Amino acid sequence: MKLTDYLSPEFIEIGLEAEDKWDAIRKMIKILIRTGNIKDSSALEEEMFARERTMSTGLGHGVAIPHASSDVVEKISVAAALMKKPIDFESLDLQPVKVIFAIASPKKRGKDYMELLSQIASLFSKREFIEKILNSKTPEDFFKTILDFADK
C-alpha cells in the first residue's frame, strides 16, 4: 500500500486559499467529496473538526494532515493541497502550514489509515522532498514528486 494508491492529480489543489485552518479543512473536504467516497460532507466536517479540536494535525515542517474516521466514508480517500499563503495550524513547531494532506477513512479502518499517516510524515522528514513539493506548479508536478520520493 502506497500513498499514490489513494491520491491522484485530480485530488490535488495548487494555490489553495484559506482564511484559517478551519476554512482550509472545509476546502479539503470539498476536494475529498470529489472522490465519490464520501456520503455526507457535513458529518465528515464534524468528525474532522472534532479531531482537530482534540489535537492539532499540524505536524511541523509546514505540513498538516487533518484526518477523521467516519461512517459516511465508504473507502479511504486522500486529498492534498499546496497553499497560496501559509496558514497557522497551531503546529507542533509553531511554523505555518504550506502543504495539507486530508485523509478520510471508514470507521472500521484497517492498517492502511495509519500507514498513510506514517508515509506522509516520513516524506516530510526529507528536506529535498519539501523543497520540491513547495515548488510544484501543477497537480501533476506535486504527484510526480510524491512518486519520486515515495520509495526512497
What is the DSSP code (8-state) at residue 91?
-
Query: Which pLDDT score, from 0 to 100, does residue 152 have?
Result: 61
Intervals of the chain under pLDDT 50: none
Q: What is the pLDDT of residues 106-122, one digit of tens each?
A: 988 677 888 888 899 89
Query: Which pLDDT score, from 0 to 100, does residue 113 have?
Result: 81
CB 60 within 8 A of CB 92: yes
The domain locations on the chain are: 3-150
The C-alpha cell at 45 is: 466536517
Query: Which pLDDT score, from 0 to 100, does residue 112 have?
Result: 81
Which residues fall within 8 angstroms of residue 98, CB to CB, at 6 or more apart?
A: 62, 63, 82, 83, 86, 134
Give the CATH number of domain 3-150: 3.40.930.10
3-state secondary structure of 48: helix
